Amino acid sequence: MKNYATYKGIRQIFVLRTDGTIVASIHPEDLKQKVGDINFYLEKRQFTREEERRDGSGKRKEEHVYYYVNPVLNRPECYQCHDKKERIVGSLVVANSMSEMDEMVYKVEIHSVILAMITIAFLSTILGFLFLRFVERPSTG
């Protein structure tokens, strides 16, 4: 799992037992910790949430993190270690930072606003010239 820790944007990958204990993780300090309510992970399957993180200079920064949860199903080859009655023996959770996507969305928003302003200015200029050219002035007299 440690090989995946170097992929850009991956914040966390871990495997949970059905009791919520982390049994594998890209961060060794997370092993044997409990995630709290395991049902939250099993019911949601995918969700985003705001998380706090420290950047390179030590400043706190809020970022969106996307979580994808995939249940690990009990199969015949697993029956040696797990009861046949159990349908799910754990969950694989992947947390991916969305900060790069948030930056891209922000840039698209800025470009869209600039493009809209340029389009409005261009159309206003063209319409102004058309009105000056084809609309007759009232005659005095």
Spatial CA neighbour of 20 closest among 47, 3, 40, 1: 40
pLDDT of residue 90: 80
Percent pLDDT > 70 in the chain is: 89
Query: What distances in angstroms separate CA 73 from CA 52, 70, 88, 90, 93, one per listed residue?
Result: 32, 9, 4, 7, 14
Residue 70 has pLDDT above 80, yes or no: yes
pLDDT in tens, 8-65: 678 888 888 878 888 888 888 888 888 877 778 778 788 888 887 766 677 787 888 8
Each domain of the chain, given as residue ranges in start order, spans 2-97, 99-141
Q: For the whole model, what pTM was predicted?
A: 0.62
pLDDT of residue 108: 96
Percent pLDDT > 90 in the chain is: 17
Residue 4 has pLDDT above 70, yes or no: no
Q: Are 35 and 24 in contact (CB under 8 A)?
A: no
- Most confident segment among 30-34, 48-52, 94-98, 119-123: 119-123
- Confirm or reject CATH 3.90.226.10 for domain 2-97, answering yes or no: no
